[in-house]
Structure 1
């Protein structure tokens, strides 16, 4: 049965390789941001804005510790002040942190383990003190240990166990292949249909998280549920241009709105992020809709080029030797275009909250370039390996930014040169176009000025990309920074209708 499932999944994905994408995306503008304290991100049209009314673009990492105790230890392998300093120094201004449901409510619905939240708060405060925006994430893969995964409490997984698991036994094909089994798919169907202690427990766990961090500086809100599997209807999700939008609109929408209502009972302001089923990387549409009266929604999407991801997951040398990177052009642009369209339809901001998990520099370059072209922020998967049991890296260590989690000096420099980029962290205006070449270091940015309470800030990785310094060309604004500054600050000129910025190596 194992060979049949893997062979069937491989065939389905190979069939998709020859399909090409299409579509376009037109940015829209919004109103100026709020000045509310503490500093948190809010939605303004299609943009994230800070309290100074500037459009914020995020380049960040995931930080998810998937094994007990489900939070990183205060060690060099885990996360300490030196890690927070390193992230800020490399220009990473965001982190998606795995405050797992199983850690929040490990034993029973309705409980909130304050000790677990306190353990994460140590990391939260380290990040906030470096002005790194944080997205709280109920991460899961394959539900829980009964299905070779993690994230959902055992008490909830037992409630979701279905007749197919009783008949066939738990699947044992590992990540991600257990997703394609009828046992786990039925368990997910049971999750979306359940109207009792599991759904209530999910809501109550989020209420506990929101109550703890609703006033947290540098919060960017709550990512409700990582990669919600579509259940037994998943085969339709693999079809580009078709997908399974009914899963989002019919099952996930209600599940998420129930949790959203719970969060809003204690936190009326912070953003709440909906995620679609994980196979949107084939470039299929999703079906979320706007929530009446709700203005602070986000659309959290992932993109993993399907065939390169499959090759990494199965670790077959022959498959990995094929030129699979060339197939990514069939999926990436369509996935980003659909994300922009979906965010508009649900009146939300789109954010690429996962990509990468690989040392393949071509894949990383492609995705980072796509994100720039679509003016989209991102979180790379992930900061360190952190003993991750459910990843396409499959123990290879390729997802980490380091060859040794305990040694920041072991950074993978070639990977970092792609991810640590010149980019506008905060813009006193509306972005229009953005590009960066990690080989030449050339950076180009164009935006339409608007009123803000602070200047535009552009991160420039001087040591990494401009060791001899850089030349700045700017029209429509003037620099407030010293030559070769690592954080370039620009003040819009009175009457300017456009600001154009170019940075090149000396």
Structure 2
């Protein structure tokens, strides 16, 4: 009995046509898929160090088109005679011209060159489509298939290409009715199934996943992000400063490569199932501008205190809150008046706690409405190349503690209310986007300790263990005692308060998060800290948080006015490794002395370099000295002089050597 074994990446790419042929004829085969990061370890196992490779009865066949032609002949999809075969191959070669262009874009690592290739492809695509239309009219003999109205592998090849064309341009086949009919006929004649978990998009999300508790890219490099929050808590619901190219350029110069962008439900859906296309398009413009500066975006369904009906803004749309039954007591009970109430007091009102519980309990279809919101958002932005993730909800409250006081225990709140909600929202997102990271938060006080009652309350990531590689625990740090008892004016933090924050609560938070990751899987991200108003107290806490994030190799997003407070801007602009081609050991930046140190196990199989950002704010005119140990070499990125590229020094280290540690040291010039 003949056996077939197809080797390729976990993607459509050049192997998809062979998979479609197998599917069309119902032939079983072994579909071996390599993760991009694992490919170097298997490269030597292939005849030419490349894939796809087809094993057929012990014979290895290489080259994607040769494999497809072989299979087409095996299963009588190549044409009935030499003339038909020539026509089929003419169509297939024309399709392959387009596929080669797409694969060159996919393989290009330089983002500027990639954009040039994308533009050339966009300009050339209409002519390629016209060429296929011409061949169809020449060869189809008036039928729905490309050659003599007989189904061949050319029709499958075009179906696969058509998926990519329509992803790049939904109107790409609009003026070609025959090609549209061919795709329709294919759907009617065969069950065409996507055989891949990772689809090759012309435009796709940020191409990162989670491995060993760290976010890594397709090259296997560990990625670290330094960023900021931008949330507009009222109409027009988008931050206008992110439409300003000068301000976005300034963010890039500070070292910002991540924005947590408030995707406001009230802005998306001002009335039930009526989506604000203008708002969605403006947010896309913001993402595109950020993309041009290599800044990734986390879409955050931001809310604070839930609703304008509970003393805040509309974190959920007012029309949804108004569907909930009223609380037993009007807002602001149990307080007599709103005079003197602080942020936390509003959460304690029955109206706010009751509203959250209605959301969790799906009162008035609240969970379905939230699922529809997220499905709309994911459908709109899933193909944005700089989309890194979706954050289900910002700072969720525990629920109605008046009816269930145990909800004040963070583990109870997480298990009872948050995890069931996250399961349903994740399912909605995954129905349209199975690849992008999902960020999920516990209650804010749920990441100081661990365990059933005092931890997050989560037993698995949203969607279950299969999604560990696409899930990120989002958490915030604001020292509790400083939030409850603010330090007045511009005074420094009292000694006892600093002890509680810097020696007790802060370290407990970072250790707790690491314990959670051991149990849950996935990665973690400090998505809020700072809250700086330019005060000495805030600056001290910001310094501590930045140093701790380096120590624990955590990515972060600053909360505060990044443009308005010079002291905060100076602090968050720091040297860091934004991509590490190996396993990090330690990273430290001593801001007062402007000293940077990085140590990591060098992975010699990675083709992409370690990238270190050196902010011109701290080192104008490249006024630094950089040294590496003997196993490394470095250069300045020719496309961005603020970035240092560090690679293995092959004079001193070989792939066959045991793991070695590379060291980078940066300090001011004397």
Secondary structure of the equivalent of 1:354?
strand
* C-alpha contact 2:243 2:289 (8 A) present in aligned 1: no
The 5 A counterparts of 1:38-187 are 38=204, 39-73=206-240, 79-108=243-272, 110-150=273-313, 151-166=315-330, 172=338, 173-187=341-355
* C-alpha contact 1:223 1:272 (8 A) present in aligned 2: yes
Q: Which residue of structure 1 lines up, in the alignment, with residue 99 of structure 2?
A: none
Cα deviations by residue, 1:208-254 (Å, 9 ceiling, x for unpaired): 0100111111111100000000024497677xxxx421221221111
Q: Which residue of structure 1 lines up, in the alignment, with residue 642 of structure 2?
A: 486
Aligned mate of 1:328, from 478, 488, 501:
501
Q: 1:319 and 1:468 mapped to 2: Cα distance? A: 36
Secondary structure of the equivalent of 2:636?
coil
Secondary structure of the equivalent of 1:504?
strand
Q: Which residue of structure 1 lines up, in the alignment, with residue 19 of structure 2?
A: none
Q: Which residue of structure 1 lines up, in the alignment, with residue 442 of structure 2?
A: 276
Whether 1:427 aligns to 2:577 is no
Whether 1:340 aligns to 2:514 is yes
Whether 1:216 aligns to 2:384 is yes
The offset of 1:461, in angstroms, is 1.6
* C-alpha contact 2:448 2:509 (8 A) present in aligned 1: yes
Whether 1:248 aligns to 2:248 is no
The offset of 1:302, in angstroms, is 0.5
Whether 1:401 aligns to 2:406 is no
Aligned mate of 2:456, from 286, 295, 319:
286
Q: Which residue of structure 2 lines up, in the alignment, with residue 455 of structure 1?
A: 609
Question: What CA RMSD, in Å, does the superposition of the two structures yield over aligned residues?
Answer: 2.7
Distance 1:167 1:481, change over 3 A: closer
Secondary structure of the equivalent of 1:342?
helix
Secondary structure of the equivalent of 1:279?
coil
Q: 1:317 and 1:84 mapped to 2: Cα distance? A: 32
The offset of 1:162, in angstroms, is 3.9
Q: 1:256 and 1:300 mapped to 2: Cα distance? A: 13
The offset of 1:31, in angstroms, is 8.7
Q: 1:374 and 1:302 mapped to 2: Cα distance? A: 15
Radius of gyration: which is bigger? 2
Distance 1:320 1:193, change over 3 A: farther
Task: Report the TM-score when normalising by structure 2.
Answer: 0.62
Q: 1:67 and 1:253 mapped to 2: Cα distance? A: 28
Secondary structure of the equivalent of 2:394?
coil
Cα deviations by residue, 1:388-427 (Å, 9 ceiling, x for unpaired): xxxxxxxxxxx31233xxxxxxx50x32232111100011
* C-alpha contact 2:588 2:598 (8 A) present in aligned 1: yes
* C-alpha contact 2:395 2:443 (8 A) present in aligned 1: yes
Q: 2:406 and 2:226 mapped to 1: Cα distance? A: 32
Give structure 2 stretches of 5+ with no counterpart.
1-34, 40-105, 107-199
The offset of 1:364, in angstroms, is 0.4
Bigger share in helix = 2
Cα deviations by residue, 1:45-83 (Å, 9 ceiling, x for unpaired): 31111233211001000010111111123xxx5641112
Distance 1:455 1:167, change over 3 A: closer
